[in-house]
Chain A
């Protein structure tokens, strides 16, 4: 069974469109995250939810909006996509706080044309 899953794996879209990426974890973890990995492989936290409560909201354009319907799901919605949004987006989960081991999903490669 996949521990942290993301859909879709690949997403190609035009500038200006709105898109969503979904994440689900079946590990029973309380905390979920979204990270962005740019073309140089740099990984940066975007958001984190603990038991459906937003606890980290890094300096991210407000075109990005996370939503956690329950603690097993954390979705990422992006409005008005821009070329610079092209990246790989990783979802992760951990049992509790950030000092716990985080388990990552397979990533979603977003390409904005």
Chain B
């Protein structure tokens, strides 16, 4: 069965600190996709990144970086030099390529960046 676990319910950091959000997933498919979305206090869901199961190359985009490790079924997200505007709920999601159309979302991690 497919499952996404985000064990960190809430994290508080002081501005300029680095912070890593953890995501662990379960799937029986060999082909699947992983996603991160951000939900700021305004409520919209903003797409951040999509990764497929064959691409374990980690990525850096500005202050954001992602660490995908199939061996541990993890897809972690790091914000470097956090800013107050990074305060949001971050969701990890999984979608299997086996014909389904749905995302399975984790329960989200609320990040609070304090000035």
Q: Smallest distance from the beta carbon of A39 to chain B beta carbons, Å?
A: 12
Of residues 32 through 55 on chain A, the ones whose CB sits less than 8 Å from some CB of chain B are: 33, 40-45, 48, 50, 55
Contact mask for chain A residues 92-113; partner B; CB cutoff 8 A; 1 contact, 0 none: 1010011101111011010000
A74 close to B (CB within 8 Å): no
Interface residues on A, range: 20 to 34
Residues of B with C-beta under 8 A to A102: 47, 103
* Contact A41/B101 with A106-B43, A106-B44, A107-B43 known, Cβ cut-off 8 Å: no
- B positions within 8 Å CB-CB of A: 32-33, 35, 37, 39, 43-45, 47, 50, 52, 89, 91, 95-97, 99-103, 105, 107-108, 110
- A positions within 8 Å CB-CB of B: 31, 33, 40-45, 48, 50, 55-56, 58, 88, 90, 92, 94, 97-99, 101-104, 106-107, 109
